[in-house]
Amino acid sequence: MDTAAILEKSLLLRQERKFELAFEHIQQALQDGHPELKALAWQHNPLFWQDVSAGICILTRRRGEDAPFMRQLWQDTAFIYQFHRHSGALPSSDQALQRILNQEMSAIIAESHAMHWVVRDAHRQPCGLLSLCEISPLHRRAEVLLCVLPTAPAGMAAAAMLMLYQFYFKLMKFNKLVSMVYPDNAKSLKSTMHLGFQKESHLRQHAWDPKTQSFVDLVQLGLLKEDAFGVGNQRLMHKLLSPRPAPRLSTS
């Protein structure tokens, strides 16, 4: 079987949500003499599709079944404006929306350069979104987007971000997390820095704001592993997240 056929089969398995079989399929291809797949093998690890759960928060990969919640959020203009000011309109067809959500969920990083989760409370009720965008395996870097509803339990946004730190730095073994914040969102800027991010640059008139119909500034913040697990965040993790053995993510 040539490389294209191997990747096509892995995609079909992932679309059927047979993530363990897709991982085994790629691992077998490596053993059968396809070293060119080594860079993609770790992206097929089933851990990328498993729930991330600790304390008050559960993260589940966004998928077709979440279409009603997506429509609820997209109708909440305040939420969308805070989460991503340039979020496009959803397709009018529920089937089309479900198809898009399932496609993004089944994709590996090399195909989508993004990962999206629904933030849920301890009772699995959806209360927000968390995304990694512009994921670069070469530079071990990505941009994070996070927003929870005002009705979410206290500390939910911090808990979701701290859980991402564990997944991102310890399992994915990435080097840097980036956040782009609008200066007029003082609450987001303060909370992001409280969780260890540091200001790196102030970008003048860097983005077009559809609400004000003007170019606006952006503040770029960055987080390294040593910042993510500082004393303050360790205390927050102890408070918000239940201790749990961390799974290991194969890089072979």
- Write out pLDDT tens, residues 161-174: 999 999 999 999 99
Q: Quick one: 114 and 84 in the same domain?
A: yes
Q: What is the pLDDT of residue 250?
A: 54
- Write out pLDDT tens, residues 138-147: 999 999 999 9
Q: Quick one: 162 and 209 in the same domain?
A: yes
**Number of domains, the chain:** 2
Do residues 142 and 168 lie in contact, with contact meaning Cβ atoms separated by under 8 Å?
yes
Q: Quick one: 220 and 195 in the same domain?
A: yes
- Which domain range does residue 127 map to? 51-240
Q: Quick one: 56 and 39 in the same domain?
A: no
pLDDT at residue 135 greater than cutoff 70:
yes
> Is the pLDDT higher at 15 or at 243?
15
pLDDT at residue 188 greater than cutoff 50:
yes
CATH number for the domain spanning 81: value is 3.40.630.30
Q: Quick one: 92 and 147 in the same domain?
A: yes
- Write out pLDDT tens, residues 56-73: 999 999 999 999 999 999
Start-end of H helices in 94-218: 94-106, 109-112, 156-165, 186-194
Q: Quick one: 159 and 222 in the same domain?
A: yes
Q: What is the pLDDT of residue 245?
A: 52
Q: Quick one: 25 and 70 in the same domain?
A: no
Residue 225, classified by CB atoms within 10 Å of its CB into exposed (0-12), middle (13-18) or buried (19+), is: middle
pLDDT at residue 251 greater than cutoff 90:
no
Residue 248 lies in a domain: no
d(CA 240, CA 212): 37
Last residue of a domain, one of 31, 48, 65: 48
Do residues 61 and 105 lie in contact, with contact meaning Cβ atoms separated by under 8 Å?
yes
Q: Quick one: 110 and 3 in the same domain?
A: no
Calculate the CA dihedral of residues 205, 158, 133, 227 and round it to 10 degrees. 80
Q: What is the pLDDT of residue 249?
A: 62
Q: Looking at residues 216-243, what average pLDDT do you find?
A: 92
Q: How confident is the model at residue 185 (pLDDT cuts 50, 70, 90)?
A: confident
Q: Quick one: 132 and 223 in the same domain?
A: yes
Q: Quick one: 149 and 118 in the same domain?
A: yes
Mean pLDDT of the chain: 93
Q: What is the pLDDT of residue 252?
A: 47
Name the pairing type of β-strands 198-209 and 214-224. antiparallel
